[in-house]
Structure 1
Amino acid sequence: MFSESCPELNCQNFPTPVIGGFASYNLSVGGASTADINFTIYVTGSWQPGLAYDTICNAVNLGTLSANGSIGNNALSNYGNFCATNTGEPQPWGDNNDQGVWFKFTTSTSTTNIISIDAKSDPQPIGDSLDLQLALYQSSNGSCTGSLTHIQESWDGSGTLNDEAINSICLTANTTYFLLVDGQSTSTTSGIQGYFGIQINDNTIDNSVNITGDTLTANASGYSYQWIDCNNSNSPITGETNQSFTISTTGSYAVEISNGSCFTTSNCENMVTLSQDSFSTDEMIHLFPNPTSRNISIRLNHSVPEITARIFSITGQLIRTIKKNNVSQLNIDIKGNNGLYFVEVKTQTTKKTFKLIKKN
């Protein structure tokens, strides 16, 4: 025999996305049931801002950008400026700025925020088109009450029904910015000045690096590059401006990547070269014993004017440097913990790096 389940009521509040957006949620049903309900809220249609949105302190909040993400939707005529008056607001174009709408957004936490802002004049279309004007501002205190600094604007001139865009601007990470969208149509329908769609894109440069053997390669393609020496105050390495860089000396390296106006720097990578650069076949370098419990010897087949040995940890950290003149052998005490080390030996004509294992 089966009995009908008792109905249960579970009320929860869920934020409504902006027009043109969507959000997915999970509703956990408690009580006698243990089911989860997954659902998505889509918001479509047109939203017509009234007088409240033509003041900066009531700006439409588009949300927070994610790295290489976007907010808004320039394919939808979600916004209109038919109610805005903007008395006393900025006039970056030197024209009557009497019908603008304010927006605000926050950049991602990425160290390089290359932002593009794209506004479309009534893209669906559902009303009047606009001669759009864009102006971007930063506040001195991060809120609507601070002093505004005009960053950039876009306007193609009066009397033309144009889309507008602000491209490839470098903005500070995790910072709120304010955007003024203004415009007039050449003709009106039922008093409506016009509709528009707005979208803001984050085009953060990928600053990761791929390592293959002795070669580092920036994963971002199509940019300008400058490899730097992290162990030398991040000094640029002369001539190393390609996407890939093959090291010749053990050390720590990074790359600066630029699109011409914005740049980012990769993490420093500890590199140990195992290659031998021999300029002379007269010198043979031997290291023994290997493995060792503590002491090693480096022997050449003849005396040299100068020999330098550098000991590195497995992470590329320089532990010790030994330099001698007019000798054919070095005796070195390895005082560190057991593990893998790298020993770089260099004379005036030869350089060689050894893997050294220390164990009891």
Structure 2
Amino acid sequence: VFDPSATAPASVPGGPEGAPPRRTGADRALGALTGRYVLIAIAAVAAVILGWAVWWQTSGQYDHVPDRIVGMRLTDAKSKLRGAGLNIRVGEASYSDRAPKGTVAASDPPGGARVSKGQTVTLTPSLGKTPRAVPDVAGGSLDDAKGKLKDAGFTIGDVRRQSSQSVAKDKVMRTDPPAGRKVSPDEGPVDIVVSSGMTMPNVVGRNTDEAVNTLRSMGLKVDTKKRKDKDRPADTVLEQQPDAGTGLSRGDRVTLVVNQRDCLVDLGGWHFGCDNNGGQGGQDEQLPVPSVTGQSVDDATSALEDAGFKVKVQGFGGDVVRAQWPTGGAQAARDSTVTIVRGP
């Protein structure tokens, strides 16, 4: 028997026949959650893109010049800048008191500055410290000279000794480079030349008066001793102390041994019956006048009197001989008057 109900479609619960299935609460919750995740994902992507754009505009396309470039060796500075992705230009070298010679004196832009990637940084090589005048240390002691040179930023080079007729023993004569010249301390040390004093000349065999005048004109004090040597000319120097070539300073004392003349009378500047003047009495005829210009009045007076002359002092004030008559080296009669003019 045919049963129509056996082939009829089953009805869907909760609705009329033929209607779509009804969504449960779980289905609706799942759909809402899925949509929210999609929105979050879209927002996250947008935030990343926006953040990247902001970063690129504010920092990403920029870099920084490495710090402490100044004072770094030029080759090392180049390597560091290349490692940072920057281009390099070497500018004209200049002096710098901060950067030693051969290092970087400055950079443009400076260290730490923000720059675009691939930007060029200009490096200025250092020529060394700024040139300055070499101090004048002449006439002072070696220790004082070294101190002044070091205070000015210079290093001390060689110390050489040289004889001098005008600079006292152990006093500085000059420097090399000379005083006043502007040089950079990084160009090299400063050498110092120190006086070894005057050099004792060889006066053996010379006339006694000539030898004495020569030594006194050098500022030396002369003592004479007499000895008879019949085989040598009378009134000549037989020996000297110190020996020729010995270093001396003004005011040092030297001794001459002279060949004694045979005279019936030998009183200072007066001689009578000597074996070298034909037995005629009276005053010696002519003697060379010592040069005393520049000496103190007392020293000049002593030198002239010791040479056999009288001295007349003129002028006002000062204790230095500024002029003399007769002039040094001229011939004048023994016991005649030499006039000296004093001044400041």
With structure 1 as the length reference, what TM-score do the two structures score?
A: 0.26
Instruction: Give 1 or 2: higher strand fraction.
Output: 1
With structure 2 as the length reference, what TM-score do the two structures score?
A: 0.26
Instruction: Give 1 or 2: higher helix fraction.
Output: 2
Question: RCO greater where, 1 or 2, for CA within 8 Å and sep 6 or more?
Answer: 1
**Radius of gyration: which is bigger?**
2
